[in-house]
Every structure is written in structure tokens, then in C-alpha cells.
Structure 1
Amino acid sequence: MAFTEYQPGSAFTGVIGRTTDESSPAWPRPRRARPGAPNVVVVVLDDTGFGHLGCYGSPIETPHLDALASNGLRYSNMHTTALCSPSRSCIVTGRNHHANGMAAITELATGYPGYDGLIPFENGMLSEILGQQGYNTYLVGKWHLMPSEQESAAGPFDRWPLGRGFDRFYGFLGGDTSQWYPDLVRDNQQIAPPATPEQGYHLTADLADQAISYIAGAKQVAPDKPFYLHFCPGATHAPHHVAREWADRYRGRFDEGWDAYREQVFARQKELGVVPADAELSRHDPDVPDWSSLPADARRLAIRSMEVFAGFLSHTDHHIGRLIDFLRRIGELDNTLIMVVSDNGASAEGGPGGTTNETQFFNNAPEPVEDSVARIDELGSPSTFNHYPWGWAWAGNTPFRRWKRETYRGGSCDPFLVHWPRGIRARGEIRYQYAHIVDMVPTVLDALGVEPPPTIRGVSQAPIHGVSFAHTFDDGSAATRHHTQYFEMFGHRAIDHDGWRAVCPWPGPSFAEAGRPFGAPITAEALSRLDAGSWELYHVAEDFAENHNVADRHRDRLIALIGLWYVQAGQFGVLPIDGSAVERLMTERPQLTRDRTSYTFWPGTESLPYAVAPRVLNRPHHISADVDIPAGGAEGVLLSQGANTGGYSFYLKDGRLHYDHNYVGRAVHSVSSPDRVPEGRHTLRFEFEPTDKPDIARGIGTPGRAQLYIDGELIAQSDLPVTTPIMFSPGGMACGANPGSPVTPAYRSPFRFTGTLHSVTVDVSGDLIVDTESEIRVALARQ
């Protein structure tokens, strides 16, 4: 080496004289990883159940993931939190989800330390740790680890991926997105997708391209510098979007239904050894109908839903395979520690019958089966936001009970693969040791020979809660080091301790048995009753799928486990227990500016995420656009929010002014001006005045009177019989265009405004124009 280096932060080791000829230079040492340090790739699948991958007994073809298992390790006792944001926070920090402020998804944050969605900076992320070790760090795909209110161009950006140690980010910030029209961000900047569905665009392929590009770009400059890639495709979360040819590969493969699927997968799991030879298949879930009892149309819809899901998963495996093949081609695969995990069990968010539009689920407005069947050939296409029936979620978690959002093992025991040819001698073996996703960070650090740093960016670090399982890589008989683990999700609780599992289901073992739906709040009185009589006990060391409740026979052990759960609840910030869902979704949360009732937007700016857009649902509001209409007229969107799944658009077409409200993708209710908007500068205004109360429980938002004004004069009005009750999803708001899928079939996106749009103001103060004479005139004109 022709020059001298010294440790940054220590004293300069050169010599400083009066001039350079009597001085000796020295340089601060760049951060370099130790020679031969392995790369790290963590693949986080979404809503993929224990019985979904081929290497876990599924008939769904996942050859590239299966190849990782054949040349690496499968774990059959890996646990998650049962929900995405909480699990993802554990995966990157090694701390329990309540200690990360992630009791639930970030959209459901509430004002308690374990629930506020703010991952403390003392809970450093693997990206921050490895960045200090000389690694390049990349996040590609889903983030969903910061308050939704911070997802806009106003920031703050310290909890975006680049603020938490990732060098580069390409993906989406929220919980889900259209695979055809995604809400994309590059680094800290919102961007449009590089192509359209008609041009062959799909998000998963784009994510794989970006991951390969990041790795290639760095390796061609610094081939010895290792990287950490956190690869998080949107799959297999809804919407289950995939090209028809992928879904059609599975034509007829699921015609026998979910009961048969479970039997076949369970038998295969025993053959593979991923479940014990004496395991029993869990009971038929009371919330899932027997396949034979379904009407023919319901079966046909369910079959196609599963074909689309299977195609989506195989398509994802294909693009993960492209990434793996690239690592092999550049000679990096053998020295890359790859971990593949799902963030929770398969999802029942499609409801009992499935849906062509998941937004209906979130708005308590499921569509009739006949409406879904009428669109069966559209499933997976850009016109849908589809999800399969919860019978398939139950089947996807074979052999376990229940599903995502619940702490039975169907929600919390998930597939987990490890592949590292240079670091692990074992090939194609199965590991049965108990593990939890908080163990992933300490395992990676152990494998790399890296100690957790005492500080990151000057912030003292909290202890890591997980323990390494690296000792199991080459020793299948090694004892687990993770003995006790609590679970809590929407009031559904469990605790594992040395082969025993206590579960307190909420609202009950099933919705049918509880007589309550998901998301029911828990009062203090109800909690006392639950603790006194609703805990179940399973000896999972002998009862893999929680079939035999032995609470009555081991009362002392159960009481001890309940006490242990409360000890961990106090230690990790679990209290107060909250079973609610809709109430949390609708909770008012701190915004960057307080007490606003008026919002002004300009064209050409970034779209607003739903969390920071004005809350217009179920309240009086008006939208005013300041425009210049050129000679010959203008057309295009003034303001839009949502997508073809539901939303609204205020726009000009054929010279006339329009407002369309898309009710959960099921109906579009409109008001339009009878005449063209004249040339010149005008104020174009839409007003909504509620005429009745909403019935949110039945999926009915506030009906109201929709009115259009030009320069303060009423020109049209119409009654909207129903509006969206809870949320738009996707719910981005855009000024001057409708990016993504069109809110209304009246135009094609992005339908940019062709006149001059100076600004658009949304006012939610309730200050509406009262013009009785104009209202009478418009009413008479409509007769």
C-alpha cells in the first residue's frame, strides 16, 4: 500500500510540517468488510402460508425456491407475529414487534408506545449495522415500516428506508399496491412505473430488474464489496395480479376444493418430513364451508381465484429465480447467505367468498357472488384487486388452524429457507428447532462474525431480543436457544415455552363459535373473562397442529404460562390490549400541520398517500379548481383520488364539468354540467352535502347531494345514493391527472388536464354555498 490509513475518529497518524516536503500524509480508512465476507439476501414473501411452497408439500410450482431448499435448509418451526408490519419490523431489528411500536400495521397506529408505528432509533436495523461493516445495502419492494402519515413528499424522511441505513430503495411504502399500477418510490422520490400493463409491465419483474441492477452496478466497481439485499415482493399479498397465462397453467388443478387440497398437502408434508410422522391434520374450520356444500357458481369462482393465486406465486418464484441465476452467473451465489421467509400465514382478507376487489372487504361491502362470477375472467387483471376466499387461506396454512391476524399456528408458523453453500455443509435437510423471526438478525450477525454495535449514529442501542440459530446450520440435533416467545395480534394472544403453547383466541376459536366478527373491541371486563376461562393449552412438542386442548388436565402449567405472557407483555410494551380494527383505522393521528380544514394542491406535484390526503368521506366538503380554459376548450382531471377499485374524480370531458364517485368498484355515481365550460378563467367547484347518516357496519357511506358550480353559480346537482364508508385502497390523491388505473371508466389514465390549472383547493370545514334559487332552477331543468 503506497499510503497510510488510520481509524476514522482517532488521531491523525501522519506528520504535519510547515510545508508538504517535510510532512507525511495519512488517510481516514474507508469502511471495508472483512475479506471474503458473505453477501446477505433476505427474501420476505407476503401472506404465503406454511402449505404454499412446493418444498412444503404444495402442488403450486416453486422450482427456484425448492432448489434453495434442496441445496440448503428448511425450517418447520419458524414463527412470525401473524401480521406484516409487525413481522417485518422483527426481521430487520431483531426486537419484538411491540418494542418496535408495531403492534399492528402502520395504518392502525394508536397513541401508545407499543402501538404508535414509530420504530425507535435505539432498535437499529440490520441495514444500519451492515452499512457500518462496509456493506452496500439495498431494499427492493415493500417497506410498510413507518407511520402512514409520513409517506408524503413532506417527510420526515428519517424513517424511510434511506433514513434507516439502506443505500438504495426501489418499491412501495405501504402495505399493498397494484402489481400493474404500483405506487412506486425510488430512494426518497415518488416515480411513475416505467411502463404500462399493455406494454407488459408487472411489479415483480420490475423489482427483480432493479435488484439485479443495484448489485451489478456496485460489483462492477468494487467486486469484493459485499452487499445486503432485502427483497420484498408484493406477492402473494392481494391483489393477486398476474398475467392470464400464468394462472391458466393451473386450470383444473384445484377443482376438488380446499378440503382435498389440505389432505393432499398434508400427506406430502409427511413424505417430505416437514411435519412429524405422527402429526394430525387440524380440524375443519367452522368458518369454512365444506367444499361439497358450495353452489356451483361459488365453487367455480373459488377455483379460478386459487388458480390465479397459484400463478401469482409461481410467477414470483420465476423472478426470484432470475435473481438467483444472476448471483450464480457472477460467481456470488455460493458465498451469499440467503434467507426466505413469509411475514405471516395465508390471508383471509378476501372474506368467505373471495372478492374481485379487496377494497370492498375494507369497507364492509362484500359483493354478491353473482357479481363476482360475472367478472371471473378478469381475475388477476388490471381491472381487479382480487383475493381468494378464506377457505383457501385455511388450506394454504396446512396443517395448522386458522390464518393471518390470529396467533394460532396458521397465522404464526411459516415457511423459512436458508441457503449458503460456502457457509453450510448440510444440504437438503430439515430443521425442527423452535425459532422466531426476531432470531434472524442475531443469526446473520453470528454467521458473519459481527457483534451488535453499542451505538448507531450516536444512539445507544437496546438489547436484541432474538437469539442466533446459526448453531443449527450443520447440527440438526442441536437444542434450540429460543425458549419463550409471546404473541399478540388484535387481542388474539399466545405464548410458546419449551414445547407448550397457550392460546387465548379473540374473538374466539372461530367467528362462528364466538358469534363476533374480527376486530371486536375488548373491554376490561371482557379481558378478565378471557383470562379466567378462554385460554387453551397445547403440547405442541407432541401436538404439532394444536388439535388437543389439554388446559383442564394441566391447569397449573396453563396458569404459569398466562403469568409468563403478562411478564413478557410488560417487558415488551404489549399493553393496553386492543382487539379493535376499524376503530384503529379511523383513529385521528398527529399530522405535520394541525387543525387544517383547507388544503391547496398544484399540478405536477407528487400524489398524496391516503393517510395525508384530506378526509372527505362522510362529511360535507367542497373542491374548487382555479382554471384557464383556452379557445376550443379543455379536458382532463382536476383532482382525483383512488383507482378503479374505488375513489372519485373531478374532471372535464367533452367540454363539460363532471364529478364521478366510484363506490368500491361496484357503481359509479355522477353529476355533470349540461353545457360546456366557457373559455377564460373560472372557478370550478364541486360540493357534497350529506343528506343522511352512514351505515358503516353495512358498508354504506353517507348519501348526499352533489352540486357543480361555475364562478359561484349552481349549474348541476344530483343525489349520490351511497358513498364509500371507510377508505379508498389504493387511495392516492393527484392534482391535474389520474395516475394508475382510472377512477371512472369515462376516461383513460392519466387524462392530464389540457388547460391551465392554477390550483385546486379541498375544504372540509363544511362551509357550503346556499343558493336556493339556483337549486330550484336546476331541479326544474332535470324534470
Structure 2
Amino acid sequence: MSTTDSTAFPGTIGTTYQDSTPSWSMPRGPRPGSPNVVLVLLDDVGFASLGCYGSEISTPTMDALASRGLRYRNFHTTALCSPTRASLLTGRNHHSVGMSIIANADSGYPSKRGAVSDEAGTVAEILRHEGYNTLAVGKWHLAPADQTSMAGPFDQWPLGRGFERFYGFLDAATDQFHPELTSDNHRVDPPRGRKEGYHLTEDLIDHAISFVDDQTSCAPDRPFLLYLAPGATHSPHQAPDEYLLRQRGRYDVGWDVIRERRLARQKELRIVPADTELPPLNPGVVPWQELSTQERRLHARFQEAYAAFLEHTDHELGRLIEHLEHLGELDNTLFMLLSDNGASQEGQVNGSVNMAFYENKEEDPLELNLRHLEDIGTWRVQNNYPLGWASAANTPLKRYKQNTHAGGVRDPLIISWPDGISDRGNVRDQFHHVTDILPTILEILDVDPPEQIRGVPQMPIHGTSMAYSFAADGRSRKQSQYFEMFGHRALWADGWKAVAYHEPGTDYEDDRWELYHLDQDFSECHDMSAEHPETLHEMIQHWWTEAETYDVLPLDDRGFAARRAESIARSDAPRLRDHFVYRAGTSHVPSGATPFLHDRSYEITARVTCTPGDEGVLAACGGVGGGYSLYVKDGLLHHDYNFYGGIFRVSAAIPAGPPDRQLGYAFTRTGPYAGIGRLLVDGEPVGSVEIPRTSRYFMSWAGLDIGRDALSPVSDAYDGEFPFSGTLDAVEFSLAELNGGPGDHEPAD
């Protein structure tokens, strides 16, 4: 008879069961009564956007959460989406875990890899080990973009980082009517395709409810973690028509009036101190009355779409909460609702009907926006509001998302837990940061951070638990917190804040540091650097110490484009290849893994078997705002190049021939971002078009489909997916050498 190691198996194992002793010892589970945890992470929602934070936008669901819990007015994030998500889920500073900016870029330094280090376990990895079911719904944006195809690797997808179920999208943004969707570890189409009535937020809430039903039905004694991250309110601001129509005329008064009204309401709600001042409009924002009549009409429509999107999201969140109440789970559910950063500046001065303009460092022409006035908020454009409304969304704070002034990093936080918070409906003033969410959850659940996860030693938790603040207001237990984003820097310590706005491409030594005493100056209106030079000097030195401690360096003020291009040039990057073959039936390929066609010559060849009556899409990449489609229709071969919604089309008859054909398109670069497109049949040119402008390096967040146009339509020449009715063997891409390499493709500022 043998005895096993008692740490592995407490029973004994003999030759047969008669001389063996069984044991049913169970792994540690959550303590009885442990609450469910629901993390709701909104996107680009500024400090003043929710009703309970002073807005006129109707958010009764979120307001009700606040009335059953607490609102925090001194809560901070990292100023950008992927970094905040990394800090939220790990409790560590974002540079330390490898996420300095978005997950679409890998700069080759430890703090800038675009993926969360395995040394920083997520809340899902920790709680799953403790017996929680772990569910994720919505936006992920923590996997390297070139690792999001169905070839993987999958270790940085939600199921690779501790979540047992996932339904949502992996990239930074997606169309709300035609989203790129992933279920667990595989791509799926929107369940109702392009039929009227579909909206992503509704779909996400349906899946959140379904996940919870599965868990509470099959394992009712196990609590769950639900991470719900809708696309709202990241651009595109798209909402059902009924929500858009409700907003008509609501914002004709303009952003100056809305800022004043919101500040007054914030004072009534005690969201800001009674003596809070409204700072001047941010640089570049024109007073409303100085705009033309056409501009005011256009800009009001942009804000109507944003408000509609947020109100629709609030309604859908209400369905989940009502369902939890129906299940009897609501009172013992810890809700934490926050935004990932402040309101977005990416709509620029004129607002935007196409997100690609910002990504290409260009501005939407006002004339283009005016032509699409009636399309704003619908599937036909992918819109974002102008800087003036972003300023209003952040009332009474300066600057925006990406900046380390308060408009980028001070965000709403609502914590609701009826069984655990008795001081309901009140406001808390303690300074806290997104790194503090995970340690708060662990303290409430009486869980110690693990020393190892899957054999990987874990770095210390950087955050400070907020659980003490549930009982009463008072002095913050947080000592200090650094900030850095694109070279903008800041440090908070003991009620003071030092902050520097950095102009890209300039010497960091030339940055002017400002100093604010936030305990007396909520909105950062009074720079005290001249009055307290010693304090400012100490805080700047403290920032450099924190930068060394948390792997912030090297500083990098390059934008998304340059760092994305650098990622493409990695020796192991899939997009560095110059030859791709996609077989028929290939799953949707996300944009970060598609062939990099920008500013270079290339050829696309589809190998088909077809008869004269066959038609449909052979390959389509992008969406309504930009991309390309190679297709057969009405007996002709067509290629549409969608440049900011305008179509460069070339069409030609397909000469008679055998059923096995090669149908293609070749682009010959003739100058920077320009060239000639030629249709090819069996290698012979049959038609051409001059294309004077092509996208610099970004067309769309949407990716590539083979044999159909699966999501947002690239071309207006066909309806629906328009699948190819013949037999498609494969589509081949052959790319010429890059003109100077992808790292040279960022345009001048």
C-alpha cells in the first residue's frame, strides 16, 4: 500500500480500491455570502456626462446606482483606454505591466509592449482560483492587435487572462450596427446581421444576462465576476433612431451654456465644491456664438448623437440591473461603474463623420460634415463630437483624454453595494486611482493577492484599497500617484498636483510645469508654481522617482500612428510579410492583422471557378468610412477604393474564357499616397483608374473578409454581405517593398 504526498492528495492509493482511501477535499471557495462583483467600464465618458454628475443627459439607471451607493469626485484614471483597462484589472500601474498606450502598439520596451505582463495577474485570474465564475462582455483592447486573428496566439485574449466566458470585441472601437464580434475564442457575425433593429449595446446586455442566467442556474452557490465594458461612448456615436429623435434641438444653446448649467448642477449635487470655478474654454475651442449658423446646427447634431448613445446605454444597463433584482442577486452585488478616461479630443475642431481622419492626423472638412448632417448617429457615418462638446463633457475640468490635466484623468466612479454600504447616496472626496479598484475588491472578499499565478511570480499590487471610504468621508489613505501619457506628465501628492502639458516633438526640458492645490482649487484654475517653487521642484523630482520605480521611461511623445507602424516593422510581426494567401472560408481578419497596403504597390488575385451569371464580393476590407472591395456584379469586375467615404471605382467586362479564372486588382504607387489601380483578368489588365489620394496608414478599425463584405459596407454598389456565388478557392495578396518602411509613414504634424 502506498501513501501519496499529503499536500497533493490526503487519501491513500493502494493496488485496488479495497485497500485505498478516497478523499473529496475541495479547493478553497469563496467565503459564504461573498458578493457578486460587476465592473462596468464606460468609454470616453467625461466627468460631467452622467445625470448624477451634473449632466442634463438622462441616465436614470446610473443615477439609481449612485443613490444606492456612493459617488466619488476625486477618482482618477490613466487618460487612455488600454492603460486604464490594464490597471483596472491588475491593480498595478499601466507602465509596469507593459501598457503605456493602446494595445495596438509595441515599441519594444518593457513598459510599451501593448500586452499585460503575466507577472500582473488579473482580477479574473485571482477570483477564478477563489471559486468565482468569471465573465467578460464588451470591449477588451488588451491583446496586441496583430495577435487578434483566428491564428492567435490567444494568451492575451480574455479567456487567456482568467475569464471563462467572453462576448464582445477585441479592438479599440467598433461600429455599433456592424460590430466585429468574438465569442470566447472565435469570431462570430452579429446575430441579426444588417437587419433593422440591431445595436451592439443591446446584444452585449443580452449576453451578459444569458451568462448570469447560466451561472445562477447551474452553480447558484458560486458568486460571479462580470466585467461589462460597452463601446459607449467611444466614437462612433451611434444610436437607435428613437433615441436620436429625442435629442433634437436640445443642444442648440451651445457648449458655453451647457458648461455653465452643468457646473451649477454639480454644485447643487455636491459633486464639486461650492467655490469651484469654470476655467476658460480649452485652446482651439471657439465660443458658441462666434460660430456660423451652419456650424452651430452641425455641432448641435454631433452632441445629440452622443447624448442619444449614452441614454440608450443607460437604458440597456437598466435591463441587466432589473434582471439581477429579479434573480434576487442585486443587493449582494458589488457594482463599480467608471469611465476609462475623460472625454475625447479625437473629433477635433470640426467634429468628425469619419474616425479615420484623426488616425491619419487630418481634420474632417467642414463641408463634408455638413453634407452628412442627417446621417450623424446612424450606420452611414462613424461620428465623433467636436472639441467644444468634449470640453463640456469634462466640466469643470481642463483638457481631454490623452492629457494628464484633470479633463483626461479625473472621471466618474459610482460604487453600489446595498448589503455592504449603509451611507448611501453620498459623495466621497478621497483621492483614488483606477489601480485601487482591484485591492478594494480583494479586501471586501477577504482574498490575499497570490504570490504566483500558473507558476509565474507576481509583482506587488500598486493600488490602495478604497474599502475604508465606504463608511465615511475623510482623509485619503493614498499617498501619491504619478501620471504619464504621450509625454504629458503629472503627480498628485497630499492634495497638490504638478502637471506638464507636452507639445509633441519638443524638448521635455522646455515643458512648463504647473502647480495646483487641488484641496482648494478643484478645477485647476490657479497655477501656484510661482508662489511655491520649492513645492513644485520637490514634486517634479518625486515624479522622476516614480517614473524610475514604475518603468515609465523612456518617455515617448509619438502618437498612435508612429508606434503602430513601429509594431508592424518588428521582425516577427505578421503584417511585415509581403505575401498572404487567404483560403475560402477564412474567418474575419481584424484590421491589425490584415496586409499593410498603405503607400505601396500591391496586387490582389482571387482564384475562382465561375459562370457568367455568378457575382459577389471576392475580398472586402474596412467599412463605410474607408477600405476597399473587389467584387463581381452585372457581369463586370469592379474594385472600389473607399477614401473617407468617397469611392474611386474601376469596372470592366470579364472577357469570355474558361470557368477557372484569376480575377484581380493591382495598385501601382506613382507618388506619396497616390497611384493607379488596374483590374486584371487572368493577369491581363482590363481597366484602370487614377487614385490621387489614398489613406496615409489607416482606413478603418474594421478588418478583412474573404468571399463577402460581412460588416459595415465598404461599397454602396451592393446590399448586404453580397457573398460570391461562384466557387472561390483563395485570395492572394502580393505586396511590393514599403516606401521607406512603415516607421516612416507618420505624416508631419
TM-score exceeds 0.5: yes
2:558 corresponds to which of 565, 572, 580: 580
Deviation at 1:593?
5.1
- What letter corresponds to residue 620 of structure 2 in structure 1? S
For residues 456-497 of structure 1, give each alpha carbon's deviation from its aligned partner in whole angstroms, at most 9, with x where no partner exists: 1111110000010100101112x2111211111111111101
Establish whether residue 650 from structure 1 lines up as the match of residue 621 from structure 2: no
Question: Aligned to 1:253, what secondary structure does the other structure show?
Answer: coil
Of the candidates 481, 484, 488, which is equivalent to residue 488 of structure 1? 484
CA distance in 2, matches of 1:691, 1:18: 79
Measured after TM superposition, the shift of residue 749 of structure 1 is 2.8
Q: Are 1:660 and 2:640 an aligned pair?
A: yes
**1:613 corresponds to which letter in structure 2?**
T
Aligned counterpart, 2:354: 357
Alignment of 1:547 with 2:519, yes or no, is no
CA drift of 1:18 comes to: 4.6
Partner of residue 513, structure 2: 535
Residue among 702, 711, 720 paired with 1:740: 711
C-alpha contact (below 8 Å) 1:36/1:224 kept by paired residues: no
User: Letter of the aligned partner of 1:474 in structure 2?
Assistant: A
How big is each residue's C-alpha offset from its partner over 1:562-594, in whole Å with a ceiling of 9 and x where there is no partner? Answer: 100000111111111111113223224434558
Rounded to whole Å, the distance in 1 between the matches of 2:533 and 2:271 is: 31
Q: 1:175/1:11 Cα in 2 relative to 1: closer, same or farther (>3 Å)?
A: closer
Deviation at 1:366, TM superposition (A): 2.9
Aligned to 1:506: 502
Distance (Å, rounded) in 2 between the aligned partners of 1:99 and 1:7: 41
Distance in 2 (CA, whole Å) between partners of 1:372 and 1:564 is: 46
Which residue number corresponds to residue 720 of structure 2?
749
Task: Please give the alpha-carbon distance, in whole angstroms, between the structure 1 residues aligned to 2:600 and 2:20.
Answer: 74
Pair 1:691 & 2:656 matched: no
Give a deviation string over 1:204-245, Cα, whole Å, max 9, x none: 000001011001111111211100000000000000010121
Residues 361-418 of structure 1 deviation map (CA, whole Å, 9 limit, x = unaligned): 2223433323222221111111110111110001000010111110100110000000
Question: 2: CA distance between counterparts of 1:117 and 1:468?
Answer: 26
Shift of 1:725: 1.5
Say which SS state the counterpart of residue 586 (structure 1) adopts: helix
- Pairing of 1:338-353 with structure 2 (within 5 A): 338-353=335-350
Q: Conserved in 2, the CA contact under 8 Å of 1:673 and 1:708?
A: yes
Matched, 1:764 2:739: no
Indicate the larger mover: 670-679 or 356-365.
670-679
- SS of match in other structure, 1:220: helix
CA contact (8 A) 1:495 1:503 kept: yes
1:598 to 579, 587, 596: 579
Q: Secondary structure at the match of 2:679?
A: strand
Aligned residue-pair number: 733
Q: 1:636 aligns with which of 606, 609, 616?
A: 616
TM-score, with structure 2 as normaliser = 0.96
Could you say which residue in structure 2 is the equivalent of 1:521?
A: 505
Instruction: Tell me, in whole angstroms, the C-alpha distance in 2 between the residues paired with 1:192 and 1:31.
Output: 39
Equivalent-residue separation in structure 2 for 1:685 and 1:22 (angstroms): 73
Distance in structure 2 (CA, Å) of the matches to 1:599 and 1:677: 28
Q: Which moved more, 1:229-238 or 1:599-608?
A: 599-608
| Alpha-carbon distance, 1:676 to partner | 5.2
Q: Does 2:31 correspond to 1:73?
A: no
For residues 64 and 607 of structure 1, what CA distance do their matches in structure 2 show?
A: 35
CA distance in 2, matches of 1:641, 1:379: 23
User: Paired residue for 1:417?
Assistant: 414
Contact 1:741 1:749 in 2 (8 A): no
Shift of 1:9: 7.8
For 2:429 and 2:635, the matched residues in 1 are separated by 68
Determine the C-alpha separation between the residues in 2 that align with 1:250 and 1:652.
42
SS of 1:198's equivalent in the other structure is coil
Q: Which amino acid aligns with 1:535?
A: W
Conservation of the 8 A alpha-carbon contact between 2:174 and 2:702: no
Q: Please list the CA deviations of residues 668-711 of structure 1 after superposition, one character each: whole Å capped at 9, or x if unmatched.
A: 00111145564411122211111122xxxxxxxx1111112222
Report the 3-state secondary structure (helix = DSSP H, G, I; strand = E; otherwise coil) of the residue aligned with 1:615.
coil
Identity %: 46
Distance 1:33 1:140 in 2: 23
- Distance in structure 1 (CA, Å) of the matches to 2:336 and 2:257: 31
- Closer, same or farther in 2 for the Cα pair 1:288/1:317, shift >3 Å? same
> Residues 35, 9 of structure 1: CA spacing in aligned structure 2 closer, same or farther, 3 A cutoff?
farther
Q: Is the CA contact 2:106–2:567 (under 8 Å) kept in the aligned structure 1? A: no
1:432 aligns with 2:429: yes
What is aligned with 1:236?
233
1:281 to 278, 282, 285: 278
Cα displacement (A) at 1:529: 2.2
Q: 2: CA distance between counterparts of 1:710 and 1:196?
A: 32
Structure 1 stretches lacking a partner, 5+ long = 1-5, 508-519, 694-701, 768-783
Q: Hey, what does 1:728 align to over in structure 2?
A: 699
Q: In 2, Cα distance between the equivalents of 1:108 and 1:595?
A: 14
Structure-to-structure mapping, 1:328-477, within 5 angstroms:
328-477=325-474
CA distance in 2, matches of 1:143, 1:629: 40
Letter in 1 for 2:694: T
**Matching residue's letter, 2:446:** G
**SS class of match (2:71):** strand
How far apart are the structure 2 equivalents of 1:594 and 1:25? 54
Structure 2 counterpart SS, 1:587:
helix
Look up the SS of the partner of 1:239 in the other structure.
coil
Inter-partner Cα distance in structure 2 for 1:418 and 1:438: 15
Indicate the residue corresponding to 1:143 in structure 2.
140
* One-letter amino acid of the structure 2 residue matched with residue 724 of structure 1: S
Check 1:8–1:718 CA distance in 2 against 1; reply closer, same or farther (3 A cut): farther
Residue 677 of structure 2: aligned partner? 706
SS of equivalent to 1:354: coil
CA distance in 2, matches of 1:504, 1:423: 40
1:608 aligns with 2:589: yes
Q: Deviations over 1:100-140 (max 9, x none)?
A: 21111112331111111121111010000000110000110
CA distance in structure 1 between the partners assigned to 2:364 and 2:89 by the alignment: 38
Shift of 1:633: 2.9
Deviation larger for 402-411 or 683-692: 683-692
> 2:743 aligns to what?
none
- CA apart distance, 1:51: 0.4
Give the superposition deviation at 1:149.
1.1
Give the deviation of 1:196 after TM superposition. 3.2
Displacement of 1:11 after TM fit? 4.1
Equivalent residue number for residue 542 of structure 2: 564
> Residues 134 and 163 of structure 2 are in contact (CA less than 8 Å); yes or no, is this contact kept in structure 1?
yes
Letter in 2 for 1:655: G
Tell me: CA distance 1:570–1:714, structure 2 relative to 1, closer, same or farther (3 Å): same
CA contact (8 A) 2:167 2:207 kept: yes
Contact 2:502 2:508 (C-alpha < 8 Å) held by counterparts: no
Q: Distance in 2 between matches of 1:419 and 1:616?
A: 48
Counterpart of 2:530, as a letter, is D
Output the CA distance in 2 between the equivalents of 1:162 and 1:595: 27
Gaps of 5+ in 2: 739-749
- For the aligned residue pairs, the C-alpha RMSD in angstroms reads 1.7
Give matches, 1:2-13, under 5 Å.
10-13=7-10
SS of residue paired to 1:339: strand
CA contact (8 A) 2:194 2:720 kept: no
| Aligned position for 1:514 | none
Q: Deviations over 1:638-664 (max 9, x none)?
A: 111101110011111112111110001
Deviation at 1:608, TM superposition (A): 1.4
Counterparts of 2:11 and 2:364, CA distance in 1: 75
Correspondences of 1:210-225 after superposition (within 5 Å): 210-225=207-222
Q: Is the 8 A contact 1:443 1:469 kept in 2?
A: yes
Q: CA 1:580 to 1:766, structure 2 compared with 1: closer, same or farther past 3 Å? A: closer
3-state DSSP of counterpart to 2:195: helix
Does the 8 A contact of 2:350 with 2:364 survive in 1?
no
The within-5 A match list for 1:98-247 is: 98-247=95-244
- Match of 1:761, SS state, is strand
- In 1: Cα distance, 2:43 partner to 2:634 partner: 43
8 Å CA contact 1:197, 1:382 repeated in 2: no
Match of 1:669 among 629, 648, 651: 648
